[in-house]
């Protein structure tokens, strides 16, 4: 049985899900022993701990220039002291250029089979990846398992399915017959999907696999060789993915440098060297807007970016104020607001909001929101695990600086203790009340657990400001609470024009931060928060070109 035949049933389901947009998950998100094995968690943790202080020698990349690594755990605030093989940009490019000509000739079916097999191998390492993610990003255990393991694998599968679908959209060859009256013109025509070349995938520090695998697998599926450049602070999770891709390539007698890991260190970064190299044709990037805009401006590159944005919440009216406040409080607390989809600007009318219990004042809703935050962070069984840890020291500093913003501090941030990690770098949310005329304060992303309660004249101003922020500064998500159908329609329309999806009236166990593979398009590509979308057809079709040949029928 070929790898393609082995995995074709799952691939078919994934393609169906792409079209239906209904729930589909090939990789179970709950770390249940019944699914992954009784010892899977303990084995993964042991393997992670065994890697600390050692060389990561699993990659099938030979002759490194040196070894290095500067990862630090946000939970212990100690270096992981894992070292990785370091290579020059030129050697990475040379290997990738050679490997490209091997990989582009591999059939579409074989590519799909190899890539899907690599995901099956990664599945066996989800727990190891979870601990690696915890101790590089600061995510809580459950998020680290889900986001870096099954959810990332589902996003990778989505990219494979989308690429496979587009590569098979047109026939490989036809006999073209055009009637000309007394005779016909007949041509044999054939078409080739030609990959663009070497793809560079630049990872981020907070979601090192989830934000990278779509680009990696999207480029590989469409026949491009890939260089994966992880963030120096979060290497191990994606290194495991690359290792398993290389393992399957080797088993199928293919060049393992078809997919390479390009590790660098904070004191000697190679991102610009790689990005500016003439041989790099495709770039995927997640990170700050300044660097993303620089990449988008590079000539001769096809660039896919997810940058920073200002995510809004529009509060007009609610069915249940406490449930709405609880949902929003969880969204702010989740991974300490270090998600690109986390809410920041909360637009609330000065006159208050309507509810079945009567008018709720601005101050009363603010206090409900604060009470829900405190209830979560002060719960020793929930707070430390929902908040996780702060990945970057600068984020902690930004939270403290937020208390000096020109507004009323409704809730100060504090450090809470994680019972498992006494030295964990933590910051609870800071909540600041801001007047709507202080655009200079809220018209930029304040990354981290920072919530701005913006007092507006009315809901119309709330909508206008949310749209303006998205159009001018980008937005990846938006939440809205309203019981008025006409206002709901207006919010949907205005935010759609700002290329921003809206989550309406969320309560319970679904949050504006979350996006589901095969159903939600992550980033729209239509505002300054990014120019690409996980995973619409353009996300894969721009990675190759259709080239046709023809000749007369003999």
The DSSP annotation for 484-511 comes to -HHHHHHHHHHHHHTT---EES--SS--
3-state secondary structure of 311: coil
Contact 528, 289 (CB under 8 A): yes
Torsion angle of C-alpha atoms 111, 115, 117, 122, degrees rounded to 10: 170
Whole-number Cα distances in Å, 5 to 26, 155, 220, 415, 462: 17, 21, 19, 53, 53
How far CA 531 is from CA of 199, 296, 305, 478, in Å, comes to: 17, 9, 5, 18
- Phi–psi pair at 319, nearest 5 degrees: -80, -40
Q: Write out the H or E segment, with its range, that includes residue 384.
A: helix 383-387
- All domains in the chain, ordered by first residue: 3-22+34-171+188-307 (3.40.605.10), 312-504 (3.40.309.10)
Q: Please give the Cα distance from 454 to 512 (Å, whole number).
A: 19
Residues of the chain with pLDDT under 50: none
Q: Distance between CA atoms of 454 and 309, rounded to whole angstroms? A: 17
Task: Find out whether 138 and 391 touch, Cβ atoms under 8 Å.
Answer: yes
Query: So what's the pLDDT on residue 376?
Result: 96
> What number of other Cβ atoms are within 10 A of residue 187's Cβ?
14
What was the pLDDT predicted at 91? 97
Write out the two tokens for 221: 């599926």
What pLDDT is stored for residue 303 in this prediction?
98
What dihedral angle (degrees, nearest 10) is formed by the CA atoms of 252, 255, 258, 264?
120
Q: How many angstroms separate the CA atoms of 202 and 153, rounded? A: 18
Which DSSP helix (H) or strand (E) runs through 259?
Answer: strand 259-261
pLDDT of 1: 87
């Amino acid at each position: 049985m070929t790898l393609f035949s082995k995995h074709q049933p799952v691939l078919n389901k994934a393609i169906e899900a792409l079209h239906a947009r209904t729930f589909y998950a090939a990789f179970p998100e709950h770390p249940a022993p019944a699914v992954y094995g009784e010892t899977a968690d303990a084995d993964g943790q042991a393997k992670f701990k065994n890697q600390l202080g050692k060389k990561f020698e699993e990659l099938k990349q030979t002759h490194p220039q040196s070894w290095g690594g500067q990862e630090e755990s946000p939970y212990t605030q100690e270096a992981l002291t894992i070292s990785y093989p370091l290579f020059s940009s030129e050697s990475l490019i040379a290997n990738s250029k050679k490997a490209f000509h091997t990989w582009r000739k591999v059939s579409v079916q074989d590519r799909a089979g190899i890539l899907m097999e690599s995901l099956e191998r990664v599945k066996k390492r989800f727990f190891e990846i979870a601990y690696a993610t915890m101790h590089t990003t600061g995510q809580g255990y459950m998020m680290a398992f889900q986001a870096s393991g099954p959810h990332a694998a589902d996003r990778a599968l989505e990219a494979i399915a989308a690429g496979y679908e587009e590569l098979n959209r047109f026939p490989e060859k036809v006999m073209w017959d055009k009637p000309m009256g007394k005779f016909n013109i007949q041509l044999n025509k054939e078409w080739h999907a030609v990959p663009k070349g070497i793809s560079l995938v630049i990872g981020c520090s907070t979601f090192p696999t989830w934000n990278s695998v779509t680009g990696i697998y999207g480029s590989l599926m469409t026949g491009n060789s890939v260089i994966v450049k992880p963030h120096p602070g979060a290497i191990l999770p994606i290194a495991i993915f690359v290792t398993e891709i290389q393992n399957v390539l080797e088993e199928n007698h293919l060049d393992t440098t078809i997919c390479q890991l390009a590790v660098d260190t904070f004191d000697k970064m190679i991102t610009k060297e790689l990005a500016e190299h003439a041989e790099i044709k495709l770039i995927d990037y997640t990170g700050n807007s300044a660097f993303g805009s620089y990449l988008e401006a590079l000539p001769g590159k096809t660039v896919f970016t997810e940058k920073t944005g200002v995510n809004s919440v529009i509060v007009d009216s609610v069915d249940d104020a406490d449930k709405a406040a609880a949902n929003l409080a969880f969204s702010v607390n989740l991974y300490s607001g270090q998600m690109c989809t986390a809410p920041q600007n909360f637009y609330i009318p000065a006159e208050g909001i309507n509810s079945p219990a009567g008018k709720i004042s601005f101050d009363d809703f603010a206090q409900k929101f604060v009470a829900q935050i405190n209830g979560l962070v002060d719960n020793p069984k929930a707070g430390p695990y929902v908040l996780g840890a702060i990945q970057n020291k600068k984020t902690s500093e930004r939270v403290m600086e937020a208390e000096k913003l020109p507004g009323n501090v409704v809730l100060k941030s504090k450090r809470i203790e994680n019972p498992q990690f006494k030295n964990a770098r933590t910051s609870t949310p800071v909540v600041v009340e801001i007047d709507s005329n202080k655009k200079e304060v809220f018209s930029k992303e304040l990354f981290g657990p920072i919530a701005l309660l913006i007092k507006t004249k009315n809901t119309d101003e709330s909508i206008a400001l949310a749209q303006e922020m998205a159009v001018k500064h980008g937005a990846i998500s938006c939440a809205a609470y309203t019981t008025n159908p006409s206002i709901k329609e207006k919010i949907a329309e205005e935010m759609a024009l700002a290329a921003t999806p809206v989550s309406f009236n969320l309560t319970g166990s679904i949050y504006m931060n979350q996006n589901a593979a095969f159903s939600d398009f992550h980033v729209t590509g239509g505002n300054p928060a990014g120019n690409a979308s996980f995973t619409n057809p353009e996300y894969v079709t721009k990675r190759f070109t259709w080239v046709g040949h023809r000749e007369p029928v003999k």
